[in-house]
Amino acid sequence: EDQVTQSPEALRLQEGESSSLNCSYTVSGLRGLFWYRQDPGKGPEFLFTLYSAGEEKEKERLKATLTKKESFLHITAPKPEDSATYLCAVTSGGSNYKLTFGKGTLLTVNP
């Protein structure tokens, strides 16, 4: 069974203070690793999909990377509007399209 663990559970940063969120996974043949952002009371917003170790994707202040065991979401010079819960999810060859999520990291960026 696929497992996804995100850390830390919560992270507080000052505006401009760069950091990284972690998503470690255990799957039988990774098909895709997904990152989302979720604001309170709303549906998750799609950010990235990564497929193979070594792959990287960027969007504004966010950069996602992937290894064989984990993914990092790097946040460079964050702003208060980056405050949200960041969710990680996987699909695998052994799961038949099952999309399994971690519990998320609540990021707060103070001005």
Partner 1 sequence: DGGITQSPKYLFRKEGQNVTLSCEQNLNHDAMYWYRQDPGQGLRLIYYSQIVNDFQKGDIAEGYSVSREKKESFPLTVTSAQKNPTAFYLCASLDGESEAFFGQGTRLTVV
Choosing from 45, 56, 60, 81, the residue that interacts with partner 1 (CB under 8 A) is 45
Q: Is residue 23 within 8 Å of residue 5, measured between CB atoms?
A: yes
Q: Please identify, using beta-carbon distances, which residue of 71 and 91 lies nearer to partner 1.
A: 91
Q: What is the largest CA-CA distance in the chain?
A: 44
Choosing from 14, 54, 96, 111, the residue that interacts with partner 1 (CB under 8 A) is 96
Interface with partner 1, residue 101, by CB under 8 A: yes
Name the burial class of residue 11, with classes exposed (0-12), middle (13-18) and buried (19+) by CB atoms within 10 angstroms of its CB.
middle
Choosing from 31, 57, 61, 63, the residue that interacts with partner 1 (CB under 8 A) is 31
